[in-house]
Structure 1
Amino acid sequence: MEKFTEDKTGSFYSYLSEGCRLCQEGAKMVLFVTGLCPKNCFYCPLSDKRRGKDLVFANERLISSDEDLLKEAELMDALGTGITGGEPLLKLERVLHYIRMLKASFGIEHHIHLYTSLAPGRQVLEKLADAGLDEIRFHPPQECWNDLKNSQYANSLQNAKELGIEAGIEIPALEDAEKVSAFAEEMGVFLNLNELEFSDNNSEALLKNGFCFNPTHPVRLPDPVNLPGLPLRNVKRPIFVPQYIRMQSSSAKDFSESQRILQESLTKSLKTVHWYTE
C-alpha cells in the first residue's frame, strides 16, 4: 500500500509531478489557448464564455497579444505555465509559439505542462519536446478506459517518455477509474484523479448521470486507505492504487492558484501589502 500525504485542500498524493508541485503552490499561470474541442464530455465545466470559442485567456485575463500574456505572467511572478482548453492541440502552432516564447522570456526553468484529450503521434510530440514542453497529461475519454493498453494513448505515453517529457494521465473520479489506475501503473506514469465539479453548464448532465452534490461521499480504496470528498458518488469497486498518484479535491486547484495569483498581483499593484492567511 502506497503512503499518502494529505494537503490543506483535502487532496491526497503519493507522488507529485513538478507541474503538480508548482500548481499546489499556486506558482503557475493557467494558459487557456482555445475553447474549441472535438470531445463532448458530459462533465465538462467550461462556461459559455469559453466553450466552443477560439479565445485565449491567461488566468482570467483575455489575451489579445503576446505582451498581454507576458504581462500576466510577470504580474504573478509565475514559475511555470499550465496549458489547457478546450483542446490545446487543435491549435498546435499557437501552443508551440507560446511554449517557445515563455521559455525565451523566463528561462528553461519556467515549467510548462499541457493537458490534452487527444493521443498525438510521435511527430507532434517531437515538436512539443523541441519547443520545450516539460510535462503532458492525457485525458482519455471514459469509453476508452476498458482497453487503454491497446489504444493510441499507450503509444502517446510511451513516445512522450522516450522524448523526455514527463507523462501522466488525468481523469475525473468516475466509475472504472480503477482500470485507468492499473494501466498507469503498467505504463510507469503518474495518475491524477480529480473530483468532479458542478458548474452551471454541466450540472444538468451530472444529475442525469446519477450524480448528486455531496462532498462527503468517499472513494473506497483497499484498506486502510479511505479518501473522503473525491467523487460525487461512490466508485463501486475498489481502486488499484498505482505507485504515482494524486487524488485532488475540486477546491484544491482553485485554492492554491487563486491565493498566490492574488497575493502576487496585489504586491505588485500596491506599495505596501499585509497578507493574512488563516
Structure 2
Amino acid sequence: MTSSAGQASSCVAANEWICAEYVRTRSQELADATVQHVWITAVSVGIALLIAFPLALLARRWRAAAGPILGLTTVLYTIPSLAMFALLLPVLGLSAAVVVTGLVLYSLTLLVRNILAGLASVPGETREAARGMGYGPVRLLLGVELPLALPGVLAGVRIATVSAVSLTTVGAIVGYGGLGNLIYSGMQTLFKPEVLTASVLCVLLAVLFDVALLGVQRLLTPWSRNRTRRRFGGRFAHRLRVGKAV
C-alpha cells in the first residue's frame, strides 16, 4: 500500500494542478515571490498617489490644464503592459524600477480621476461656510474638502491597487514580477502546480488588498456607511456658520 506521504509527493511527479506537496517543498520560494509582489505593488501605488494628488489639484485649479493631464494619463493607461515595459527597459535597465515606473504610470489615470471626482462631490455650501469662517485655500483643502472627498479618493486607491497586483505579474519579463515569475516559469516548463498556486496567491493578494483598503475607508469615513455623506457635509457647514455667528 502506498503511504499518504508517497501519494502526496507523487502529485509533483504526476504534474497535477492541485498539489500540496509542491506548496510544502517550495514554501520559501512562494514566500519570497509573494513578498516581492507585495512591495512592488505597494511602492508603485504609493508613488502614483504622491504624483496624482498634485496633478489633480493642478487640473482643478487651472481648467486649461485639466484636458492635457487627463488626456495624457488616459493615453498612458492604454499602452499595452508589454510595450510599456519594453519602452522603459532601455532607460531604466533590467531592474525593478521598470516594473514600478510602469505601474505608477498606469495608476495615474485611476487616481487623478477619482481624486477630482471626490473633490467635486464636496457640497458647495460646505465650502462657502468654511470660507466664511476665514478658511484659506490650504486649510479649506486639508480640513474640509479632503475629509469629505476621502470615499472617492480611497475608491480610486482600491482600484489602482487591485490593478497593480494583476499587472505586476507582467514584470516577469524583466525578472521582477513577484508571483508572475513563478507563473511564467511554470508556463515555460508546463509545470501545472506552479502555475496554479502562483495564480491563486495572486488572486488572494488582490482580495486581501481590497478588503484591507475597504476597512481603512470605512474607518476613516464612518459617515459614508449609511449614505449620509452629503448630510454630514450639510451639518458641518451648519456648525461652521454657528461658530461664525458666535
* TM-score, normalisation: structure 1: 0.22
Higher relative strand content: 1
Query: Rg: which structure is higher?
Result: 2
- Between Structure 1 and Structure 2, the one with more helix by share is 2
